[in-house]
Structure 1
């Protein structure tokens, strides 16, 4: 999932940007969320430095801190090199610094009027969403699920296992941060997944990277989230192999 961050020290401006972002995500039904909105650039860095995050960052340039928006973007690049960075500022004259610091900004939005900001932020969100999805598909690291009228994208490494649902023709995906039930068949899933996934039982497909330990005697795989998956005799051979 693409996470959105705001760093803006003007409370009124920060609330306006928050509203625009939340409205766009809700209206367009994007699989995105506003992860953090803050005036403190260090709070952004503390959030991303120990987490594997793909982010869209809306940064003010003048933050009245030891880090300005440009130097914050430079630090963000160390932890999220493929993240999308957008500057929203009154300082048009400082746009050249984005090239000087090589932060590869997606856009540089001037706070001249609300309608302009609203349109440009909306365009940036759509652009980032489309590029993130394209990159993920190219790298084959994203699993896409259609649930009603929404498309949910989940990194392969975030998937712990799949289980057949009690509801006919449905499967449950257990992820590190979410659980999703959707229409599919296990055979269809096998064709979409890569080598890290193993059909260890008629009712289970596990991500081998997220198996904590395997109880061969009782035919159970203990997963990193504390859940247990059944393993058939043939499934044990698959997991070991």
Structure 2
């Protein structure tokens, strides 16, 4: 999932940018969310220090702080080299600094026309989502699913297991950082995946790379996060191989 961070010291403008982003995510049904909206660049640095994210960052240049937006972008690059940085500012004359500091900004939006700003922010969100999905595909395999009108891309290596839901025709995907319930057939999912996934039970399809322990006597799998999956007797031998 692509996380969004906003750093803007003007409260009213921060609220407008936040509302614009939320509307774009809702309208386009994107698998994105705002994880931080703040006036203080130090809060952004602290968040990045404590969380590993793939981010889209909307930054003002003048933050009334010892750390301006350009310098903040330079710090962001240290934590998130592949992140997308967008400046939303009144300081057109400072755009050249993005080249000096080599922050590789996606866009530099000037706050002169509110409607133009909204349109540019919307375009940046769509562009970042497209590039993020493309990069993820290049770097590693992803599973694409549709859940609650959202198209979600999730990396294979983050998937722990799939479990049949109590709701008919639904499956629950258990990942390292989220849980998603969606309409699907377990067999159809199994056919899409590669050899790292194994159907160990009629109700469970597991990622073998994320198995921590196998209890052969009780026919139970323990995943890396401590969750348990059942193993059918006739399928235990194939799993152990």
TM-score of the superposed pair, with normalisation by structure 1:
0.91
Could you tell me how far apart the structure 2 residues matched to 1:83 and 1:234 are? 46
Task: State the match for 1:134 in structure 2.
Answer: 134
- Residue 202, structure 1, aligned to residue 202, structure 2: yes
Change (3 A) 1:18 1:236: same
**Which stretch of the first structure deviates more once superposed, 166-175 or 77-86?**
166-175
- Residue 30, structure 1, aligned to residue 30, structure 2: yes
1:144-166 residue CA offsets vs partner (Å, 9 max, x unmatched) = 11125321222323322101223
Could you tell me how far apart the structure 2 residues matched to 1:45 and 1:210 are? 31
Task: State the match for 1:74 in structure 2.
Answer: 74
Task: State the match for 2:171 in structure 1.
Answer: 171
1:145-198 residue CA offsets vs partner (Å, 9 max, x unmatched) = 112532122232332210122334332111233322222233322333344433
Extract unaligned runs of 5+ from structure 1.
Answer: none
- Asked if structure 1 preserves the Cα contact closer than 8 Å seen for 2:158 and 2:176, the reply is yes
1:54-85 residue CA offsets vs partner (Å, 9 max, x unmatched) = 11000111112222111111111112111110
**Which stretch of the first structure deviates more once superposed, 200-209 or 83-92?**
200-209
Could you tell me how far apart the structure 1 residues matched to 2:239 and 2:73 are? 43
TM-superposed CA distance for 1:137, in Å, is: 2.4
Residues 1-241 of structure 1: pairs in structure 2 closer than 5 A: 1-233=1-233, 235-241=235-241
TM-score of the superposed pair, with normalisation by structure 2:
0.91
Aligned residues: 241
TM-superposed CA distance for 1:234, in Å, is: 5.7
Change (3 A) 1:42 1:236: farther
User: SS at 1:57's partner residue?
Assistant: strand
User: SS at 1:9's partner residue?
Assistant: coil
Pairwise CA RMSD of aligned residues?
2.0
Extract unaligned runs of 5+ from structure 2.
Answer: none
Runs of 4+ in 1 over 6 A off after TM superposition: none
Could you tell me how far apart the structure 2 residues matched to 1:17 and 1:238 are? 53
**Which stretch of the first structure deviates more once superposed, 72-81 or 209-218?**
209-218
User: SS at 2:56's partner residue?
Assistant: strand
